[in-house]
Amino acid sequence: MKSVGILTGGGDAPGLNAVIRAIVRRSLPRGYRLVGIRRGWRGLLDRETVELDRAATTGILHRGGTILGTSRTNPYKSPDTARVLEANVDALGLDALVAIGGEDTLGVAAKLAASGRKVVGVPKTIDNDLSGTDTTFGFDTAVSIATEAIDRLHSTAESHDRVIVCEVMGRHAGWIALHSGMAGGADYILLPERPIDLDAVCAAIARRRAAGARFSIIVAAEGAALPEGEVTTDAATDAFGHVKLGGIGVRLAGEIERRTGFETRSVQLGHVQRGGTPTAFDRWLGTRYGLLAADMVHEGKFGMMAAYRGGAFEPVPLASAVAALKTVPPGLIDLASTLFA
Ligand code: F6P
């Protein structure tokens, strides 16, 4: 009987359990043993595993988070942990490993594949910034939550004649801000891809007031930066070198109030965007990714990532998926800007 390991790494995303469930359901009848690795790459370093049978994966489709747990462990940070990682894949008798994660987790997966281990990747991130696939699961849920929040902010902003800045996630890519801002009718959208022009933001707010609108909603990605740099909650970096972002909303609210004289508040949606039940789309997308990942293992398509491109599900090389982040292209930012010109 062949053993297939499954792990979830990096920030959690709604839809992770759908992927796990689909892999198990597709693979069990083919005679595979499914081994859940606890807490991402940490669990592989610690050999912390759990049996994934049908009972263990029943009733999880609608649940947010990951039944396996996750971590931001980088086993390739030191040659010693890299050796332990590779040795443990062999020691646990894993004939194949499915790694479900974003740029960092899949970057590790690509290195592990390069060491000769049989690895398949599945693209996860609420930020939707992975290349090689049109959409990652988790993104639709995050955009839906952010859009609902923006809708709710409208009525309170309007009642109080206020400007409200809604800070959403998005470290290097502003896809959540762009999509939720468009869907929620934001009056200005700020992305990590382009430095914040405070004069332009304040001018847009002033134009609205002059036209009779007494409130404005500004959507800002956490990674959107003023010319002096990003706003962080903690300068320390994680194992992959990322700082903890957060606080641009508060910062902007202060600047906007000072410059325009309009009362301004801010809201940081934070992890609310990642928690809770996945949308139907993310359950479907996660399920399709899981089914394809199981087929890739069965057909020996290793060193590849399950991808969704142009409406079709197909494997793409892991290395190409992690080579560069998919950020919002300039043309699309310009197009969105016409909505609040
Ligand atoms: O990568 C996804 C993401 O949600 C980013 O948008 C955000 O910067 C980061 O994770 C926050 O992660 P955590 O607080 O869990 O470390």
For 325-339, how does the pLDDT look when each residue is reduced to its tens digit (9 = 90+)? Answer: 999 999 999 999 999
User: Which residue has the CA at smallest separation from atom 3 of ligand 1?
Assistant: 11
From the CA of 20, how far away is ligand 1's center (Å)?
21
Position in ligand 1 atom list of the atom nearest CA 102: 1
Q: Tell whether ligand 1 has an atom less than 6 A from the beta carbon of residue 245.
A: yes
CA 29/CA 169 separation, integer angstroms: 39
- Is 199 among the catalytic positions? no
Question: Which atom of ligand 1 sits closest to the CA of residue 223?
Answer: 8
Cβ-in-10-Å burial (0-12, 13-18, 19+) of 60 comes to middle
Task: Look at ligand 1, atom 11, and give the residue with the nearest C-alpha.
Answer: 11
Instruction: Indicate whether residue 170 lines ligand 1 (CB < 6 A).
Output: yes
Cβ of residue 71 lying under 6 Å from some atom of ligand 1: no
Mean of the pLDDT values across residues 12-36?
Answer: 98
Ligand 1: distance of its center to the CA of 11 in Å?
Answer: 6
Give the lowest-confidence range in 149-163, 224-238, 293-307: 224-238
Evaluate: CB of 102 within 6 angstroms of ligand 1.
yes
Instruction: Tell me which residue has its CA closest to atom 13 in ligand 1.
Output: 11
Residue 189 pLDDT level (bands cut at 50, 70, 90) = very high
pTM of the model: 0.96
Mean pLDDT for 77-90 is: 97
Tens digit of each residue's pLDDT (9 = 90 or more) over 246-261: 999 999 999 999 999 9
Q: Which residue owns the Cα nearest ligand 1 atom 15? A: 11
* Atom 10, ligand 1: residue with shortest CA distance: 11
In the prediction, which pLDDT does 232 show? 82
Question: One of 127, 140, 282, 295 is an active-site residue; which one?
Answer: 127
Q: By C-alpha distance, which of 254, 305, 246, 237 is closest to 273?
A: 246
- Mean pLDDT, residues 71-94: 97
Q: What percent of the chain has pLDDT over 70?
A: 100
| Distance from residue 2's CA to the centre of ligand 1 (Å) | 34
State whether the beta carbon of 64 lies less than 6 angstroms from ligand 1: no
